Amino acid sequence: MPNIASVLKNEISRIARKEIKADTESLKKQSSKYRSEIAALKRQILDLQKSLRGLSNGTRAARSESAEEVPDKGGLRFRSKGFAAHRQRLGLSAAQAGALLGVSGQTIYHWEAGKSKPRASQMPRIDALRKLTKKGAAAAVAQVMG
């Protein structure tokens, strides 16, 4: 006849294994579910990063296309050093040049320092200023400021 202690011990261990197995099965299912959700999120992140790169490349291409279009519309370019040198050749102060261009003298200083650039709408007026002689500039300043 078997020993009651050993039978009881075997029965307790069998029931404990059964309970542990039930608990671990639910944990395995949850773990599997979380892993699949994480994988789906990683795929979504990769897709979003690809689309972001595509958009940023598209904006760069659009910027470069728009930058290429500006010189084609008449070859108007702006260089701060060239603008400052031409203004000084004409003998104009920043305030006078600003009055001719419809901007402030401070804006002229910012353009010449490279802190800002003129708008595309201002480029034709800058081009007209480039074509002025020293006498023509003095006459234009007298007309605008006088």
127-141 pLDDT, tens digit per residue, is 988 888 889 888 888
CATH 3.40.30.10 for the 80-145 domain, yes or no: no
Domain locations in the chain as residue ranges: 1-75, 80-145
Lowest mean pLDDT among 72-76, 86-90, 92-96: 72-76
Would you state the structure tokens that stand for residue 7, as one six-digit string? Answer: 């039978």
Please say whether the dihedral angle defined by the alpha carbons of residues 59, 60, 64 and 67, taken in this order, is positive or negative: positive
State residue 63's pLDDT score: 58
49-68 pLDDT, tens digit per residue, is 988 888 877 766 555 555 44
CA distance 10 to 55: 67
pTM above 0.85, yes or no: no
